[in-house]
Chains A and B, each alone.
Chain A
Amino acid sequence: MKALVLRAAALAAAAFVIVGPLTSLAVWSLAERWTYPSPWPQRFGLRYWARVLGGDFLEPLRTGLGIAVLVTVLALLLAIPLGYALARLRFPGRTLVLLLFLLPQAFPQLPVFASATREFYRFGLAGTVSGVVLVHLVGALVFAVWTMTAVFRSIAPELEEAAHDLGASTTRAFASVSLPLALPGIVASAVLVFLYSLDEFTGTLLVGAPFVSTLPVYMYTASVGYELQIASVTALVLMVPGAVLLLLLERFLKSEYLVLLGRL
């Protein structure tokens, strides 16, 4: 009995702390009129949802999705061979390369992005989609290289050796043995990178301004203009991919990947 009460209390407390702030987003997104000192919005309605979904944010949504697809493809193209090399080959400076791919995790990103933006101006990359893709690739590669290294490490090298013994070339052994085995890991890595790029804010704000806007930047602009409803609607939309991923991970994936999400 006492245990049951304790469980209920713990659940209620956790629900309030975790769900509370998210609920207030929902309330604000529906509040057509909410002025001080009313404890509750005076008028509810879907006006802001209609306004946002009706066109305002389609542009940043499309830009963001396009950038995320590009970043995911490029990051995987680079990370699959690199991850494979880091997992299988012993070459001088291997640890150094791995550490290099950890640094952006440990470093404050903003000053780095500010500096990158300044360099980008010289090459006409600031304010362009290519510039934003480049800046997203820094974070994306960290995710992708580490997951791909872990994935290839978990595949026994003996399998490839067996393929060699049967006469397969190195490329053939990689393409028909290791690559298919690594597919679930590649998909996981792609999902992580895609989500990272979609949610990335700091780099996009600095490099993309003022021409390239994605959903997080759109949301920030709305919030600065005190359009709290617009920002709340966008915030709820931004949570959708994360929610989908949470449910997917609960079902299919190992929790090691979760740690990387702490940096999203």
Chain B
Amino acid sequence: MLAAVFVWPVATSVTASFTREGAFSLANYETVWRLYTRDVVYTLGVATAATLLTFAATVPVCGWLRVRAFGPVEFLLKVPLFVPFVVVGHALRVFLSPYAPGLSASWGGLALALAWKHAGLAALLLLGAFRGVDEHYLEAARNVGASTARLTRDILLPMAAPAVGVSAVLIFSSMLASFSIPLMMSRGSGPQMLMIDVYYRFGQHGDFATASALGVVAYLMALGAAFVYLRRLTA
């Protein structure tokens, strides 16, 4: 089942990306290089900015929550996990610019929306990792006068570093492949997220070969990230 609906499509798209007019060719990748280099850079940039934003917001809050538990804030942080991607895209669009596309259509607005959605997952993973840190270390540091911010920066973060790294990779690769949020934020012109390009290339131009080549570029970017993730998971 999975083979038919997942592995086979991956295989055909990889094959199609190397084929033009029935023969082996790199022409599709040449098209990608010519038309979409800017979008690849843009996608990497937005995903990086959004990942940094996610962790810049959640690390201090989760550190604080680890040191002094506070239910209501923890509950609120989990909320984005339960809001579907499409809804997040639309909600952030009307929140950031209620009328004509303004901030919501900029890369900053997109990064904000992606960070909003992924904050729930990040908080969950971070809190899990922070709660795994032995209380004794925190007590020892507190006895010599460390504040919550110091505890987060100098004890929680370094000790939970592997888990934080895995979370970051997971979130980064999910952002690279995000489709519904950028689609709902409705950005008309200028550089696009890679998945939007794949969608239009396939859906409107009917150009499966180039869409596949774009897809392969995305697979490779995700694979780089997933490699780290899987190694941690099986280790």
Contact = CB atoms under 8 A, between A and B. Distances in A.
Interface stretch (A47-55, A84-92, A102-110, A160-168): A102-110
B84 A246 contact: no
B183 interface: yes
Nearest to B6: A138
Given A111-B211, A111-B212, A246-B82, A11 B5 contact: no
Contacts, number: 216
A108 B176 contact: yes
Most A Cβ at <10 Å: residue of B72, B82, B177, B211: B82
Secondary structure of the B side of the interface?
helix
A85 B116 CA distance: 38
Interface of A: 3, 7, 10-11, 14-15, 17-22, 24-25, 28, 34-36, 78, 95, 99-104, 106-119, 134-135, 137-138, 141, 199, 201-202, 206, 216, 219-220, 223-224, 228, 231-232, 235, 238-239, 242-243, 245-246, 250, 255, 258-259, 261-264
Given A11-B73, A115-B212, A220 B183 contact: yes
Contacts of B79: 18-19, 22, 246
Interface in B92-142: 92-95, 98-100, 116, 118, 120-121, 124-125, 128
Main secondary structure, interface of A, reads helix
A199 B70 contact: no
Interface string B207-234: 0100110111011001101100110011
Contacts of A246: 78-79, 81-82
Contacts of B5: 116, 134-135, 137-138
B219 A114 contact: no
Contact of A264 (B70, B73, B85, B177): B85
